[in-house]
Structure 1
Amino acid sequence: MDNNGSCGSFRLLVSLPLLLLTAPVTAQNAGNTEIEQVVVTGTRVANRSALDTAVPIDVVSGEQLQNLGVSEVSQALSVTVPSFNFPRPGLNDGTDTVRPTTLRGLAPDQTLVLVNGKRRHQSALININNSIGRGSTAVDLNTIPNAIIQSVEVLRDGASAQYGSDAIAGVINLRLRTNSDGGDAGVTYGWRETRYDVLVAAAPDGANYSSPPKLSRDRSDGETLTVSAWKGLPLGSKGSVVVAAEYKDQEHTERGGYDMRQQYSLVNGAFDPREATFNRYNSWYGEPELDQKTVFVNAEYEVASGATMYGWASWQDREAVSAGFYRIASDPRNIPEIYPDGFLPLIAPDVVDVSAAFGVSWQLGPWAMDSSLTYGRNEMDYEVRHSLNRSLGLATKTTFDSGGFDYDQLTMNISGVRTVDVGLASPLNIAVGVEARQETFSIHAGEPDSYRNGGARLPNGNGTQPGAQVFPGFRPENEVDEDRTAVGAYVDLEANVTDKFLASVAVRGESYSDFGENLAGKLSLRYDFTDQFALRASVQNGFKAPSLQQQYFSTTSTNVISGVPFDIATFPVNNPAAIALGAKPLDAEESLNYSLGAVVRLGDLMVTVDAYRIDIEDRIVLSENLTSSDVVNYLNSLGFVGISGARFFINGVDTTTEGVDVVVSYPWSTQSAGRFDFTVTANFNSTDVTKVPTTPQLSALPTPPVLFNRFNVLSYEKGTPENKYAAAINWSLGGWGATLRATRYGEVLSPDANPALDFTLSPQTLVDVEARLAITDHIKLALGADNLTDEYPDPLPPINNPTGTQSYSNYSPFGRAGRFVYGRVNYTF
């Protein structure tokens, strides 16, 4: 990264696409041969199939997305893409609603998401709690309904030189339907039918209730109704418009453990009789409650000149409810006059997501041109329910508007593609383009009662934490309204040098108004030794720009650490207190990616094996909570009074990730038994943290605090499965069909700051099954079960779960929801 010296090279790269667009070179058109699974991601050559590319690409069809009980894009990818995981954390505030995903064990924001090849906007949420993806922002894949998706292409390779920031781990491209007729309407209803185990500690001496060391609980909950439809319509004689809508109503699930804490104060030295009747399964800790409405429209139209206009628009409103930790009746944070039995505070985010795009593709001499303008906005507002602000005493409300934040993105691009005969085995494919992007992030404060300190004292005379419990409101001093611009340009060349040797080169430069410039390059090669065997390889440098959320997110909340409340301020890096602690303007993360793979075709048997190594420098992380007396005294000495703890974002973590992806597929058609499609995938992945951040200011303190502790180091190194295997069989015969799928998640570490409390989650295998029957040409029925055998991660032992309520680790790669049984009916137009 160079903010000054690379200006000349960057300006040359920006001007190069415009020069190439007017270059008088004789072009030669490529053929239009029909090829199965033609892809547009990772290559800008027309009619390139997934198995003919120089980099690994998975194609997930719309039908595969449909044949699931849990109808989420993220869930579908987690069972079809070898290194994609969807951990589904709980008790993580807004992260319960906008849940992170990982590709190749990297952060959620290190995978770029496209819609029809155009950059999709991120969520406004930044993950700041202890889950996979801490400190990152990401695109919310579940804002796009399955009904509008024709297919999903997943490029498992770095691609910053082709697509820009964020494409370190890979690229996910969702291709939308363009049908001019037909359609489908479906209703899916299902629920969790499950039994789970929790481990409990011994009861307090003298309590009049029993407590075996292991308890099992039967649950029938999480009822989910999904109604979706899409319809293709003609738009004139040469166009189409597809309208899709989805409604989802999901009840929450309860997977909390058995709360072994003494709930009530002693009465005359004896246990309160209510201890014997109190419902100790008092925590939700599961899937959130959702009421979600989505509309998506995609259209294209060919005008008289031969140009094609296209565009799409979407809207989603997601009202969610999840829970925090239960506050027992005798908790000093409780007011018994309001909640005599304690209370479970609820956090209810309302997420509104909108997007719109308009573009034109046309022919300019030998150039296939494309220009588009896309806009996306995501906003999240928090309401806290069934809570209180203890500092307001009996005058407190129990429902609060805690404020929220929003993010939007406006992107303009223009590109051109042509082929040129330069004497190679195939024409040279030239793709050039320029892209400009503007981003905005803002935070708005909640109502005063959601954050203010009312001054009410505890019975012992001590003060108490201010703000609404579970999610204190954003304060006026947290409010920000920031924006930035980015301009980029790329050149992408691809050709068969010989009949057997394919080469691709891409170079991209980007200039950001806030942190400077970046130049990325990629070289991809493929050699087909025979029609049955090929090797492919790539090397590239990539980058991820710091998000506006990482640069400007600000909040103050009270964290209870070892029983002591601390007002922890999350400072933006430009805050004077953060600068005093050593914060600097955030720079881009930089990566070097290497991959080497093989493609084998033996008749209908297809096998791909791809090894990769990803070295990343200066990863952006959220520091630890800095609450030591040395830190507080240091801030006080500089005039920052009233701060009892602080944290901020910082560059400085270096990692090395290595792994192997394997994909095997085989279709088998029989005369009498129908068609079988077999797929086997595997991923082996490991990450090592090779550097952690420090600052001179903190290093000079008598006891220097750790900015990135072993908990977070191990989250990077061991927090995702070290291996993952999946096998699936799809069968069809006449109107009958079925899917059987098994996914084995390897060992995962649930880390702790104390090495003695590290907990290893053993491998688990989840089995999904679905049976389908076409009643008529238009009506299809399906019955199925996700996680048929009702598998759970290993329950946390009492030493890791001292309250008894958090029964499972958030590091489980498949969540902790249990068996989901469902039925579905579809009507095809």
Structure 2
Amino acid sequence: MMMKNKKFGVSSLSLAISIALSGALVSTQAFAAEEEAKLENVEKIAVVGSRAAPRSIGDSPVPIDIISSDDLKKNGSTDMIDMLVTSVPSFNSRAQPISDAATLVRPVNLRGLPSDSTLVLVNGKRRHRASVIAFQGGGINDGAQGPDISVIPGAALKQVEVLRDGAAAQYGSDAIAGVMNFVLKDDSEGGSITVSQGEYYKGDGATTTVDGNIGLPLTDDGFVNISAQYKNADATSRSVQRFDAANLIAQGNTEVKDPAQIWGNPEINDDYSIFINSGFDINDKAHLYAFGNYSSRDVVGGFYYRNPHNRGNVYSNDEGETLLVGAVNGDQSSCGIVPIPKTTDANGNTVDGNVLTSQPYLDMVADPNCFSMNQIRPGGYTPQFAGTVEDRSFFAGVKGVVGEWNYDASAGTGKNKSTFSLRNSLNPSLGLDTPTDFETGAYEQVESTVNLDVSRFINVGLSEDISFATGFEWREESFEITQGEEASWIAGPYADQGFNIGSHGFKGFGPESAGKNSRHNIGIYADTEAYIGDRWLLGAALRYEDFSTFGDTLNYKLSAQFSATDELSLRASHSTGFRAPTVGQENVVNTQTSIVNGDLIQTFIAPPTNPLSAFYGGKVLEPEESVSNAFGVVYEDGDFFLTVDYYHIEVEGRIAQSSQISVEAEDYDALRAAGVDHPELISAVTFYTNDFDTTTQGVDIVGSYDTELLSGYAKFSLAYGWTDTSVDKYDPATTDAGKVRRLEDGIPAHRATLTWAQSWDDLSMTLRGNYFGEYYATHADDTSDWGSEVADAAVTVDLEVSYALTDGLTLSVGANNLFDQKAQKLKDGTLGELGGVYYESGPFDYNGGFYYGRLSYRF
């Protein structure tokens, strides 16, 4: 039987093989275009996953998805995360309402693992992490610190390559779940401009996006390709009035808003991103390249309502029986007691009355020595969390050929900074002199990379030459906390009287938290791949890395593909991997408000070696270690393509944020002796820990079929993922059963997307059905029976229709969630307590249907 010729000569590789310092191959768009022209049966070429020549996804020994820029844009959302969710099996994410910094940068997950277990590349180069760490409501992503891929505009992309396989032995840390490579456009002429507008069926969340791309020649031997996107998005509200707020209004408190809090998407202003990609041929054997970006956005989201009768350490310290009253002279007993009046509502239930009109309260206010925070916020308050996210990067290098060797030398740096502020809040420890708006400080993540990589083909007497690649990487990573303004963190004169320290809801970073921590590491790898006869493709990789903070690690990978026939091939891989704890996870400090059994508690996030963390079991973090096994089947026959892949990933010592550990009164003296200030004002503590082992397994099915249909051209595509995670071992002292359940069941076990793309001469249509299986739904971090349940499976439908008005001008209209499928609603008893309608966790947009229009012009 005649087998397909898979041999690639050294000359064709001269500008194709370029290996990033992180072990990644840079974009080889020129090579891919050339090969596509030669091999008409090869539709898409990928550079991730192999050190040999870029190959078609069907000839890859590991599963790879390639999504074109045009396919990404067939979506009402212009957010890169939303675009990928509908294109990649086992890729999940959703918006995070009332979720601290995760509101600014959404975490994602691939194959049931957190966002920092997937390595992200741009043009084959390692992308820096976001400065934001997902603290609250993240489930699987609790404590994760991954890159911010939402800053990458679709207009800048040629394609996205997603390697769904463990690849730490090839690419280094973070590639336990896989690798995503965003390939930038490299056109030297032409361009596009697109304007899109949409909003939710509810009439809110209006989003306007303008993006463009232009290719320019850099003499006859190079190019500069520039892309930009600008976006504004209004907030959404899926809120209901809280029971307690409604009662206060009924009792005559006119300072309470309706609704008291907004539960929904944040407001996004001045969200812009600029990407530049460039290249220049020095001669026929050397090529210069450079690319980078600058991005920024302002985000404002909501927090939970603070009840003016019972919010601990602000209004009361006995759960709303009496007001917390401060004394200017320090003697609280001189101010007397102000009880919260009780009354009966229309249903015969005992409820709070109006303390503002009670005589004890009026007497207290009349005494200049006495005060309560009701005098500033008589209706309670709902803080607003705001942030500005700035992201920038720059990489440059030279690649080419010297003799039989291909080389790539590059260097680059990336920075992501999040500057936080809190509005409409208080620092209760300052008493009535407190400001209400605070600049709370900033996180900044900086990464720099230098690499030298070489590769060649070697004749060792086999029927095909073997490919060999090796390289060296040096990388430095730093995480810096910038101090907030003094009022946001200071312990005011009334801290000793039981009033909360710092801006309430998100305490500013004080001098004890501020500072910069860094580490560096080196990596050395070797990679080889060879055809043994006409049927077998074998590969092996070995990587050694040494980190300045915790030592070294050695990982390997073996892969194989067997071509049974021209149409059918089998593939398999086995690898070990690791994920180094981030510098941010080792050193981050934060204060957050969490929900436990419906009650708001103040939780302090401390480094694992902080005295408070160490007292409750915190230890120096170690890297996660993984073992990954996978096997699959690839079938290609004409216009039909199908892959089925099974994977099994064991991770030991997974790093995550611990569950909330209560700070008990009997520990106060010991904590003070250990150096913890005001432990009585800390309800609970969490810290990062190597706390549990997991096994994640699953099946990914990707298929497509092209045919003529309805007097036009049709393409049917399927992406299905089954994911199952089990927690094999955990420490019950730091990880509770609720968190284990979120890790195991927090995302749907079954996800599927079926797409029908139909085109005629001037008209095209995309119809997409999305299936989401059952999952364990929680609100924020509340895993009690009161705040969680198993959510039902759901189906959403997306539709887009496009018409070519002229050769270059196209009008598109469409809807995401066409039939307005509702997300899982909170239980009746929790709706009014939490002030929201839907659970925070969930696989699709809780805001409902979204319709949009888009006008695109290509030139």
**Superposition TM-score tier, normalisation by shorter sequence:** 0.7 to 0.9
1:722 equivalent in structure 2: 749
CA drift at 1:317: 0.9
Are 1:256 and 2:239 an aligned pair? Answer: yes
Equivalent residues in 2 for 1:399-478, closer than 5 Å: 399-456=437-494, 463-478=498-513
CA drift at 1:286: 2.6
Partners of 1:599 and 1:57 in 2: CA distance: 11
1:157 equivalent in structure 2: 165
| Corresponding residue to 2:762 among 692, 715, 735 | 735
CA drift at 1:280: 3.4
Given that residues 197 and 852 in structure 2 are in contact (C-alpha distance below 8 angstroms), is that contact kept between their aligned partners in structure 1? Answer: yes
- Amino acid in the other structure paired with 1:81: V
1:25-62 deviations in Å (ceiling 9; x for gaps): xxxxxx95433201101012224101110000000100
Q: What secondary structure sits across from 2:160 in the alignment?
A: strand
2:716 equivalent in structure 1: 678
- Amino acid in the other structure paired with 2:806: T
Partners of 1:597 and 1:575 in 2: CA distance: 46
- Gap change, CA 1:566 and 1:97, over 3 Å in 2: closer
Are 1:792 and 2:822 an aligned pair? Answer: yes
Given that residues 466 and 558 in structure 1 are in contact (C-alpha distance below 8 angstroms), is that contact kept between their aligned partners in structure 2? Answer: no
Single out whichever of 77-86 and 40-49 deviates more from structure 2.
Answer: 40-49
Partners of 1:222 and 1:563 in 2: CA distance: 28
2:842 equivalent in structure 1: 812
- Amino acid in the other structure paired with 1:480: G
Equivalent residues in 2 for 1:629-644, closer than 5 Å: 629=664, 631-632=667-668, 634-636=670-672, 638=674, 640=676, 642-643=678-679, 644=682
Partners of 2:55 and 2:388 in 1: CA distance: 42
2:293 equivalent in structure 1: 314
CA drift at 1:364: 1.2
1:301 equivalent in structure 2: 280
| Corresponding residue to 2:251 among 267, 271, 275 | 271
* Root mean square deviation of aligned Cα: 2.4
Are 1:759 and 2:789 an aligned pair? Answer: yes
Partners of 1:801 and 1:391 in 2: CA distance: 32
CA drift at 1:291: 2.5
With normalisation by structure 2, the TM-score equals 0.85
Are 1:246 and 2:229 an aligned pair? Answer: yes
1:172 equivalent in structure 2: 180
Q: What secondary structure sits across from 2:435 in the alignment?
A: coil
Q: What secondary structure sits across from 1:237 in the alignment?
A: helix
CA drift at 1:750: 2.0
CA drift at 1:610: 0.3
Are 1:578 and 2:585 an aligned pair? Answer: no
- Gap change, CA 1:54 and 1:163, over 3 Å in 2: same
CA drift at 1:474: 1.0
| Corresponding residue to 2:197 among 189, 197, 201 | 189
| Corresponding residue to 1:61 among 65, 68, 86 | 68
Single out whichever of 564-573 and 246-255 deviates more from structure 2.
Answer: 564-573
2:564 equivalent in structure 1: 529
Partners of 1:440 and 1:588 in 2: CA distance: 17
CA drift at 1:345: 1.4
Partners of 1:469 and 1:567 in 2: CA distance: 9
- Amino acid in the other structure paired with 2:156: I
Single out whichever of 626-635 and 234-243 deviates more from structure 2.
Answer: 626-635
Are 1:774 and 2:801 an aligned pair? Answer: no
1:731-756 deviations in Å (ceiling 9; x for gaps): 11112111110111111102554356
Q: What secondary structure sits across from 2:220 in the alignment?
A: coil
- Amino acid in the other structure paired with 1:62: S
1:639-692 deviations in Å (ceiling 9; x for gaps): 64532443321113100001100011001135x621111001211111000111
| Corresponding residue to 1:748 among 775, 787, 795 | 775
- Gap change, CA 1:418 and 1:640, over 3 Å in 2: same
| Corresponding residue to 2:145 among 131, 137, 150 | 137
**Identical aligned residues as a percent:** 34
Given that residues 97 and 288 in structure 1 are in contact (C-alpha distance below 8 angstroms), is that contact kept between their aligned partners in structure 2? Answer: no
2:738 equivalent in structure 1: 711
Given that residues 489 and 502 in structure 2 are in contact (C-alpha distance below 8 angstroms), is that contact kept between their aligned partners in structure 1? Answer: yes
2:52 equivalent in structure 1: 45
- Gap change, CA 1:641 and 1:561, over 3 Å in 2: farther
Partners of 1:171 and 1:639 in 2: CA distance: 43
2:535 equivalent in structure 1: 500
Single out whichever of 326-335 and 520-529 deviates more from structure 2.
Answer: 326-335
Partners of 2:677 and 2:127 in 1: CA distance: 42
Given that residues 566 and 627 in structure 1 are in contact (C-alpha distance below 8 angstroms), is that contact kept between their aligned partners in structure 2? Answer: no
1:687 equivalent in structure 2: 725
Given that residues 465 and 565 in structure 1 are in contact (C-alpha distance below 8 angstroms), is that contact kept between their aligned partners in structure 2? Answer: no
| Corresponding residue to 2:585 among 542, 550, 562 | 550
Partners of 2:504 and 2:148 in 1: CA distance: 27
1:202 equivalent in structure 2: none
Equivalent residues in 2 for 1:64-83, closer than 5 Å: 64-83=71-90
1:196 equivalent in structure 2: none
- Gap change, CA 1:822 and 1:462, over 3 Å in 2: same
CA drift at 1:462: 5.7
Given that residues 748 and 811 in structure 1 are in contact (C-alpha distance below 8 angstroms), is that contact kept between their aligned partners in structure 2? Answer: no
CA drift at 1:282: 3.7
Are 1:658 and 2:694 an aligned pair? Answer: no
CA drift at 1:554: 1.7
- Gap change, CA 1:620 and 1:314, over 3 Å in 2: same
- Gap change, CA 1:178 and 1:564, over 3 Å in 2: closer
2:686 equivalent in structure 1: 647
Partners of 1:318 and 1:345 in 2: CA distance: 20
Partners of 1:723 and 1:489 in 2: CA distance: 38
CA drift at 1:456: 4.6
Single out whichever of 729-738 and 588-597 deviates more from structure 2.
Answer: 729-738
> Matched residue pairs, number?
757
Given that residues 280 and 289 in structure 2 are in contact (C-alpha distance below 8 angstroms), is that contact kept between their aligned partners in structure 1? Answer: yes
CA drift at 1:570: 2.4
1:611 equivalent in structure 2: 646
- Gap change, CA 1:616 and 1:303, over 3 Å in 2: same
- Gap change, CA 1:755 and 1:326, over 3 Å in 2: closer
Partners of 2:810 and 2:75 in 1: CA distance: 14
Q: Is there any run of 5+ residues in structure 2 with no aligned partner, and where?
A: 1-19, 22-33, 316-372
Partners of 2:830 and 2:113 in 1: CA distance: 26
Given that residues 372 and 412 in structure 1 are in contact (C-alpha distance below 8 angstroms), is that contact kept between their aligned partners in structure 2? Answer: yes
Q: Is there any run of 5+ residues in structure 1 with no aligned partner, and where?
A: 1-16, 19-30, 194-218, 695-705
1:23 equivalent in structure 2: none
Given that residues 241 and 832 in structure 2 are in contact (C-alpha distance below 8 angstroms), is that contact kept between their aligned partners in structure 1? Answer: no
Single out whichever of 351-360 and 576-585 deviates more from structure 2.
Answer: 576-585
1:702 equivalent in structure 2: none
- Amino acid in the other structure paired with 2:100: D
Partners of 2:600 and 2:703 in 1: CA distance: 54
Q: What secondary structure sits across from 1:813 in the alignment?
A: coil
| Corresponding residue to 1:368 among 403, 406, 409 | 406
Q: What secondary structure sits across from 1:550 in the alignment?
A: helix
CA drift at 1:569: 3.4
CA drift at 1:382: 0.6
- Gap change, CA 1:309 and 1:557, over 3 Å in 2: same
CA drift at 1:602: 3.0
Given that residues 481 and 515 in structure 2 are in contact (C-alpha distance below 8 angstroms), is that contact kept between their aligned partners in structure 1? Answer: yes
Single out whichever of 291-300 and 600-609 deviates more from structure 2.
Answer: 600-609
Q: What secondary structure sits across from 2:837 in the alignment?
A: coil
- Amino acid in the other structure paired with 2:152: I
Q: What secondary structure sits across from 1:220 in the alignment?
A: coil
1:229 equivalent in structure 2: 212
Partners of 2:708 and 2:118 in 1: CA distance: 37
1:146-173 deviations in Å (ceiling 9; x for gaps): 1111000000100001100000001000
